Amino acid sequence: MAQLATIASLAGTGLAVYGQVRQGQQQKATNRAQEENLRAQQTAQQEQAAVQAAANERARQEKLASTIASARARAAAGGIAPDEGSAAALTGGLRSDAAKEAAEDASLMSARLASGRRSLLASDGSFNSFLRAGQTLGGAVRNLLV
Condensed to tens digits (0 to 9), the pLDDT of residues 34-63 reads 999 988 888 887 788 788 888 888 998 898
CB 16 within 8 A of CB 136: yes
CB 109 within 8 A of CB 53: yes
pLDDT at residue 30 is higher than 70? yes
CB 18 within 8 A of CB 117: no
User: What are the two backbone dihedrals, phi and then psi, of residue 43, each rounded to the nearest 5 degrees?
Assistant: -65, -45
| pLDDT for residue 119 | 45
| pLDDT for residue 77 | 85
Q: What is the pLDDT of residues 108-144, one digit of tens each?
A: 777 777 776 544 444 545 555 555 666 676 666 666 6
CB crowding 127-139: b at 16 or more within 10 Å, else e: eebeebbeebbee
Average pLDDT over residues 5-29: 84
pLDDT at residue 75 is higher than 70? yes
d(CA 23, CA 36): 20
CB crowding 56-77: b at 16 or more within 10 Å, else e: beeeeeeebeebbeebbeebee
pLDDT at residue 10 is higher than 60? yes
